[in-house]
Structure 1
Amino acid sequence: MEELRELRVLVLRSNKFGGNMSLPSRTKFPFPRLQVLDASHNDYLGSLPQRYFINFRAMIEPIEIENDEFLRNVEMRLSLKGQDQLITRLLDTFTTIDLSSNRLTGTIPPSMGNLKILKYLNLSHNNLTGHIPSSLGNMSELESLDLSTNKLDGDIPSELTRLTFLAKLNLSMNNLVGQIPRSKQFSTFENDSYMGNLGLCGLPLTRKCNEGDGKSMQTAKEEVEYEFIDGFGWRCVVMGYGSGFVVGIGIGYMIIRSGRPICFKFGVIPVGT
């Protein structure tokens, strides 16, 4: 299919397709006019296909589309901004990549930032690792970015705040840390964009950041409380038990030696005597 140079829509979603998309190929310029790639909900594995991202010319620069019958009557159902939508017309500005719900591994290649006119990107529900590339801030037309439910770590790049058309962001269920950027579009996103990242802090989360290293003040407070319970607290308990034991031994010894109840010794008269 890589040799189909006029192919613009490739929808393979919700099948049982497997294999590795990143294997070498003899096709020099695969899919040069592809605008829609949806291979979600399959069983693909391996790393993300970087050789595609550097050759998707229709996602890098605008390509004029002829006004033919197919483009006026195309019908496809895609997941856009988290919702299934029926698309009945392919505009020359419509571009999307959805590789979600597979078994893809490895890092997100910086070359993906070359897709400057890509509008929708969904890589969620895979096993992607490493940092979010700062080059994604070059995707100036991006309207939706979903990287949720992976194993991404590190900070959220401040370069992503350059995505002024970004209306939907989902970075939840990863291992991201540090302070959340709050300028431009990022000031509009709510908690659900970041949930499940225990190392993140700052608005819109309730977990505040320290000024120095972005470490959560709440986390620091929890550590102090833990140290109190694990340190000073158990020492007090041990000292209390130890003191009580010594006092008890002393009182017992005095009772045995005097041969009478300790209550008399201290001037206490028991009720009923």
Structure 2
Amino acid sequence: MSKSLSIFHLNANNFSGPIPSIFIKGCSLQSINLSGNKLQRRLPKSLINCKSLRGLDVGNNRIRDKFPFWMEALPELRVLVLKSNKFDGNMLLPSRSNLPFSKLQVLDISRNAFVGSLPQRYFKSFRAMMDVKENQTPSDDDAFQDLFFEMRITLKGLDQLLKRLLEDFTIIDLSSNKFSGTIPRFIGNLNSLRYLNLSHNNLMGHIPASLGNISVLESLDLSSNKLDGGIPNELTSLTFLAKLNLSMNDLVGQIPQSTQFSTFENDSYVGNLRLCGFPLTRKCNEENGQRMQPEEQDDEDDEYGFIDGFGWRSVVMGYGSGIIVGIGIGCWIIRFGRPRWLVEFFFGVGYTYNKNKKKKKTRKRATPTQRGT
């Protein structure tokens, strides 16, 4: 690694083994792309010598390591892609910097095995994702944006190749890990964030209303978690939102209605059994916006609720069985005249069962025998 080398791209090959620790002091690399190989073991900490590094992509390898907290000291880092590896552990170690990753625009650590809570302190320090237009200053990054940048990421559910990093392009993808806890409200401070994916984790609690502050958000994916509560009405202010996925959670209540929300279909909400309202076919109670359910009826409607608890098949089977039993009992009564009180109730007092026919039949059967004697 000479001090004059700026681009180190060996992506989409079959390299294996560890990444060698070859990054010397005074390293002038601005872009490193080693994605799509079979690289293993850990990231070399000698990367800290590359103070001009703006983009690092080691996605789709077999690297087994903890989160590289030591990269917080890279002052120019804009892109950090660690997706589809074997990184694990949590992201809660104390920061050694006042503003870690202050210039980071792209953080993609999806499809790994990170655990614990979401990194709140990073959400507070990602200055490049806050007030981009106000904080934008002239820089010499045009060469990096036009020539040195190449990255494949997932946008709105599609795998795309980016060859230019715009000043206002921002993305956080923490999906398909084992993060738990709640979504911190501080995430709403990242008001210049465009793509947010926290899907396929173990996140709980409510969707923070502060997400409505991210006015430029284009894609929001919170699917396959354990989120509960209602969908905040504040999300209707996200007029640039083109992709929304809240499926496979425990959300309740009415889906907010707005011009933007009317463009999302059923698959945005599937798997939330207590959500109601358009575009779902489940209707809501007009008073509280909750789905109308028989078990939530008042005490005075208990009788109707009890009846509603049985399906039509059970009712038909009950009626059918009763008719058959009733016909059988009726035939028995008519044939034998028992019980007498019931016979007199239906056929009138004084009704007697005609036994003459029975006696005649008995005599006829006995006649041949008598003649023989």
Give the TM-score of the pair, scaled to structure 1. Answer: 0.84
Which residue of 299, 303, 308 corresponds with 1:228? 308
Q: Is the 8 A contact 2:251 2:275 kept in 1?
A: yes
1:15 — aligned with what?
85
Matched, 1:37 2:117: no
Change (3 A) 1:246 1:27: farther
Q: Is the 8 A contact 1:50 1:111 kept in 2?
A: yes
Question: 1:206, CA displacement in angstroms?
Answer: 1.0
Q: Is the 8 A contact 1:255 1:261 kept in 2?
A: no
Structure 2's unaligned 5+ residue stretches are: 1-70, 298-303, 341-352, 360-373
Separation of aligned partners in 1, 2:154 and 2:110: 9
Matched, 1:54 2:134: no
- AA at the equivalent of 2:169: F
1:176 — aligned with what?
251
- AA at the equivalent of 1:167: A
Change (3 A) 1:227 1:24: farther
2:53 — aligned with what?
none
1:197 — aligned with what?
272
Change (3 A) 1:248 1:216: farther
Change (3 A) 1:152 1:261: farther
Separation of aligned partners in 1, 2:179 and 2:72: 20
Structure 1's unaligned 5+ residue stretches are: 265-273
1:94 — aligned with what?
169
Q: CA RMSD in A?
A: 3.4
Which residue of 205, 210, 214 corresponds with 1:139? 214
SS state at 1:2 partner: helix
Separation of aligned partners in 2, 1:147 and 1:261: 86
Which one has the largest radius of gyration?
Answer: 2
Question: 1:47, CA displacement in angstroms?
Answer: 0.7
2:59 — aligned with what?
none
Select the structure with the greater relative contact order (CA < 8 A; seq sep ≥ 6): 1
Question: 1:185, CA displacement in angstroms?
Answer: 1.1
SS state at 1:54 partner: helix
1:271 — aligned with what?
none
Identity of aligned residues (%): 61
Aligned 1:89-168 pairs, distance under 5 A: 89-168=164-243
Question: Which digits, 9 at most, give the CA deviation of each residue in 1:46-88, with x for residues without a partner?
Answer: 0110000000000012233533422212000010111111010
Which residue of 145, 151, 154 corresponds with 1:71? 145
Q: Is the 8 A contact 1:153 1:177 kept in 2?
A: yes
Separation of aligned partners in 2, 1:263 and 1:131: 82
